[in-house]
Each structure stands twice: as structure tokens, then as C-alpha cells.
Amino acid sequence: MIAKNSNGFTAVELLVTLFIAVIFLIAGYTLYVTIIRDSGGALQQTQASNLAYDYMRRYAANATSPCTANTPLSSATPTASDNNPPNARVTVAITCPDSTRPTLSLVTVTVTYGTGEALTHAIYARPQ
């Protein structure tokens, strides 16, 4: 029997290694794309939450006593800013939730952004 000296790789071993490497690269790229997409959504939600909080505080400070139910802002576009989510629309509604306390107002802010996502914040306001 002749002993065969094994130096290097065969073509089949090289192809199998390349195939496995390609599978790992595709899986890594898919994971990367998923992370980037999900972090973008979280950023937009944070921006919408901050925008709603700003409007909520602004209109809570202007609440009237006794409470007067109204919608002072209906589907308004906020000023363009790097801190606002894309396609943002803001709606503010002031309601009187409790007839026994006429000085208490409920300020509700809804921010619609992106491709139809919506976020709502509310606060009870008592004018000073």
C-alpha cells in the first residue's frame, strides 16, 4: 500500500467551508438588519413620547378654571425638528372628567407618526 501524504485541502473541503461561512455571513447580516430596524422604531417612539409630553405640559399650564372641554389642537403638524418623529401629527383634547371638581381638567395628547403608529399621554391639570 502506498501511503498518501495529505498536505492542504481538497476542493470539496474548501467548498464546504465556504458554504458554511456564507451561511454565517447571511445570518449575521439578517441579525444586523433586524437590530437596526427595531432600534429605529424605538427612537421614533421616544421622540413621539417627548413631543407628546411637551404639548401635554404646555396645554396643562393653559387649562381654565372652571374646566371647559375643547380640542384646542386637532391634527396639527409640529415644527420640523431633528427631535420629532417623521410624519408627526399632534391632537390635544381637554375634557372635564369629574363634574364634582370643576377645576380639574384632563389634557390628552395623541401623537400619530411614521406609518400610522400612535402614542397617547394624559395628565390631570388644575389651574393655579
Assign 30 a pLDDT band (cuts: 50, 70, 90).
very high
Average pLDDT over residues 40-61: 90
User: How far is residue 46's CA from residue 31's CA, in Å, rounded to a whole number?
Assistant: 23
pTM value > 0.75: no
Residue 7 has pLDDT above 70, yes or no: yes
| pLDDT score, position 112 | 94
Which of 108, 74, 72, 111 has the alpha carbon at shortest distance from 89? 111
126 in Cβ contact with 103 (< 8 Å): yes
Which position has the grid cell 364634582? 100
Where does the pLDDT of residue 6 fall: very low under 50, low under 70, confident under 90, or very high at 90 and above?
low
Minimum mean pLDDT range among 12-16, 52-56, 79-83, 110-114: 79-83
Q: Rounded CA gap, 89 and 86, in Å?
A: 9
Instruction: Show the beta-strand stretches assigned E in the chain.
Output: 70-76, 89-95, 105-113, 117-125
58-98 per-position pLDDT tens digit: 998 888 888 888 889 888 888 877 788 888 999 999 998 88
> Is there a contact between 102 and 91 (Cβ–Cβ < 8 Å)?
no
Cell of 21: 461561512
Residue 41: partners with Cβ closer than 8 Å, 6 or more residues away = 114
**Nearest alpha-carbon partner for 113 in 92, 91, 81, 89:** 89
Residue 127 has pLDDT above 80, yes or no: no
